[in-house]
Amino acid sequence: MNMTATSRTPITGVVITLNEAANIEACLASLARVCDELIVVDSGSTDDTCALARAFGARVIEQPYLGDGPQKNVGPKAATHRWVLSLDADERLTEQAVSTVQALSLSTTEHDGFALRRRNFIGSRWVKRCGWYPDYCLRLFDRERTGFSESRQHSSVQASHPARLDADIEHYSFANLAELFTKAGGRFSTRAAKIMYLKGKKVNACSPFIHGANAFVRKYLFQRGFMAGPDGLSVSLSAGVNAYLKYAKLLEFQRDPQVREREDFNRVW
């Protein structure tokens, strides 16, 4: 743990995981630079994630996946300290973020949360367009005043008086272009389609094309993906593919009983 933090307001670092053996040590090492306690909430890893986390000194809580918000609230509720810094396993604090967090006066601040900019990467390439930067994420918060929303998809901290820090975290979400497209065409779009189906959302034959085209145009033109070269085009195409397949899969659930019967809607999360 970061011994210099003992003279400051203590912070608990929290990570949710599922088969993150390749990432968890680097993530915890990053958090340990500013945190006095580390908690990993694992949803059933079959690799060495839990063993590596325990060896690093983290407390591991085993919790079947509840959905994004409910899962991310498990760690803060079990934290010893009032202030919580929540990272995903594929995220890291930059040197700038470490020094900025260490300089905060958390015991006297009027803010209930702090957001950092997120640098999103494909491989080692930082994509600065397509809405990928600055991608402000509220990750440091007072758990006694706020927490993640109970949304089971794309949850965020619901602070009432947050502030933005002049610092970045790094997000290594896609190892390469292949992963960018396979995630969009696979579990991301399938999960979204299931959620919409369970909510009773109806679509027509034009919906996949319209949503796919809109997603591509928004990323490539309005969010200036064209200024990011091949990676900007790839991110925009991936967003279009994800949107198209999300609505195409929903349409398939609506019109094909055989496909619908073979899908397990109890395993959305």
What would the pLDDT profile of 170-184 be if each residue is shown by its tens digit? 999 899 999 999 988
Q: Are 241 and 212 in contact (CB under 8 A)?
A: yes
pLDDT exceeds cutoff 70 at 1: no
From CA 34, how far away is CA 3, in angstroms rounded?
9
**Which three-class secondary structure state does DSSP give residue 146?**
coil
Name residues whose C-beta falls within 8 Å of residue 137's C-beta, 6 or more positions apart in sequence: 115, 116, 117, 118, 156, 169
Peptide bond into 134 cis (omega under 30): yes
Per-residue pLDDT, averaged over 141-161, amounts to 95
Can you give the pTM of this predicted structure? Answer: 0.91
Q: Are 28 and 53 in contact (CB under 8 A)?
A: yes
Give the model's pLDDT for residue 27. Answer: 98
pLDDT exceeds cutoff 80 at 95: yes
**Tokens linked to 88:** 């995903």
Q: Which residue has the higher pLDDT, 188 or 51?
A: 51
